[in-house]
Chain A
Amino acid sequence: MSLVGALTPLGKAAHRSWLRAVAAYTVAGCVSSAILGFLVGEIGWWFRARSATFLIVPFTLILAVRECGWISFKLPEIKRQTQKVWAHEFGFVTAAAMWGLDVGCGVTTYVTYSGFFVLAAIVLVIGKPQFGALVLVVYWIGRTLPVWLAPLLGRDVHIHDLLGEILANRRLYRYGVAIGLLWCAVVMVAR
């Protein structure tokens, strides 16, 4: 489910509760992202994944081409979303923390764009657990930005219109991810 859609209406109704819920979402996601990044880095170190560094650039370029829509294949993903009912069972703040823990794992819900996989692959070949934790926490912070900014960006529109605006830009997101992937390829060549 869209966390923007779930949490933003709360910001208009009860600002303090919204703040606590979004903070809980962010912190909980930081925890699960950090653990995941640390583990991926540790696995990369254990299995000497550094020797596979040469594969990163073609892997990244193939995914960039996919994001541009020139080739098509499915990304490995678990077809599930976080549970909206948690908000009714546990209250918004606790549910937001649970959503953060869940979504912050990166692979336990739908993965629409391929940037996450390239970050995970880079963390794997670099093989430094602390760096892995840092990269995936930064990715998570980027993921939470729309939730933090949604009340500001959509202050003049109804939540349904805001969600409509989000969905209207899907091509922009795909090309944006493709540009980010090209940047990652440049960085890995420069390394």
Chain B
Amino acid sequence: MTYMRMNNIAVASYVTLAASLAAGLWLIRFNVAASILPAAVMFGWFQIGGV
């Protein structure tokens, strides 16, 4: 059986994604515009794959 170990960067990316969505869902109840901020963190993190 072959399998691929998920690397630390992938784990950290999934954590960032989940935490950002959770934070966005929580923030939208208080301030709709502010709920963009967790997405901004997520976009910044995923730029790790950029040049």
Which residues of A pack against B, CB within 8 Å? 1-2, 4, 81, 109-113, 115-116, 118-119, 122, 126, 131, 134-136, 138-146, 149, 153-154, 162, 165-170, 172-174, 176-177, 179-180, 183-184, 187, 190-191
Contacts and interface: CB of A to CB of B under 8 A. Distances in A.
B33 interface: yes
- State which size class the interface on B falls in: 20 to 34
Contacts of A131: 33
Contacts of A173: 13, 46, 48-49
A167 B50 CA distance: 9
Interface of B: 7-10, 12-14, 16-17, 20-21, 24, 28, 32-33, 35-37, 39-51
A166 B44 contact: no
Contacts of B42: 115, 142, 176-177, 179-180
A174 B48 CA distance: 11
Nearest to B37: A138
A158 to B, nearest CB: 13
A116 B13 CA distance: 17
A134 B50 contact: no
Contacts, number: 135
Contacts of B14: 172
A11 B13 CA distance: 21
Given A169-B9, A191-B32, A191-B33, A180 B48 contact: no
A4 B7 contact: no
A17 B32 CA distance: 40
A173 B42 CA distance: 10
A51 to B, nearest CB: 17
A113 B13 CA distance: 15
A166 B21 contact: no
A2 B28 CA distance: 34
Given A169-B9, A183-B21, A145 B45 contact: yes
A168 B51 contact: no
Contacts of B48: 4, 146, 166, 173
Contact of B46 (A81, A119, A177): A177
